[in-house]
Amino acid sequence: MSKRRPYVRPMDGWWKKNPYFVEYMVHEGTALFVAAYAFTLLVGLVRLGQGEAAWNGWLEALKSPLSLAFHAVLLVAILYHTYTWFKIMPRTLPPIIVGGKKLAPATITGGGLMAALVASLVLLGLVWRIAQ
Amino acid sequence: MKSGLKRSNAPIFWALFGGGGMLSALVGPMLVFITGIAIPFGLLLPEGAMSYPKMLAFAQNWLGKAFVFAVIALFLWHAAHRIFHTLHDVGIHAGVAARLICYGSAFVATLVSAYVLLGLGF
């Protein structure tokens, strides 16, 4: 066994030194909120499977101020996920050639955000119709 | 002759990550607003929109089932993959334990949601 202990550069907070990496960590961190929301829905689904009383208990829990604050945080974090998802998309997609020219990054990002807006409004419309 | 190349399972996890990322980017914020803010507090949508008979009917419809399943499973596979890969950046060695916790929880949640949705009937 070697007695030497090679120096390992500590990794603590390396990303805090550069705004670019801070943003990277924040947008990667949105995954925690996406997971938290999915688990919230999963609990709801399990309660639905347990019958009416259980479901009503879950609905009641959603009306608490704590739940409202929780969902407000989720909303902000997942909105940021939407924004960064499409902002990064020009770099995660293979180059798209339209008319012999590479599609501009702003077009891809703008198109994605527009698609999200349309999908969200369609979803709201559908729920609104079912709710009547 | 046997090929020495082993097929990688990485594309599957990337596809689940991408699918979940796309679905949550498209409808995630609106879903949070609808289920967590609008309906519980009667803003814009009636409070009864998520009543037991309504939700049961929704979850018994095959399209509703597919939507609920896709949202829960894909959101979690997206998050699992992203969290697993970000562990490396915060200096946590992404070993078997981390893999099991990240992908394992997504896997269990997928099974649970499928089980409940099928149990609710059609």
Q: Which domains does chain B have, with CATH numbers?
A: 12-20+51-119 (1.20.1300.10)
pLDDT, tens digit (0-9, with 9 covering 90-100), for B9-24: 888 899 999 999 999 9
Is the per-residue pLDDT at B50 higher than 80? yes
The CA distance from B93 to A90, in Å, is 30
pLDDT, tens digit (0-9, with 9 covering 90-100), for B59-101: 999 999 999 999 999 999 999 999 999 998 887 877 888 899 9
pLDDT, tens digit (0-9, with 9 covering 90-100), for A90-124: 988 888 888 888 889 999 999 999 999 999 999 99
Q: Which fold has domain A14-131?
A: 3 helical TM bundles of succinate and fumarate reductases (1.20.1300)
Q: Do B109 and A42 lie within an 8 Å CB cutoff? A: yes
Per-residue confidence band for A2, with pLDDT thresholds at 50, 70 and 90: low
Q: Coil, strand, or helix at residue A59?
A: helix
Instruction: Give the domain ranges of chain A.
Output: 14-131
Within the 28-87 window of chain B, which residues sit less than 8 Å (CB to CB) from chain A?
Answer: 28-37, 39-41, 44-46, 48-50, 52, 54-56, 58-59, 68, 71-72, 75-76, 78-80, 82-83, 86
Complex ipTM value: 0.92
* Nearest-by-CA chain B residue for A36: B76
Q: Do A31 and B78 lie within an 8 Å CB cutoff? A: yes
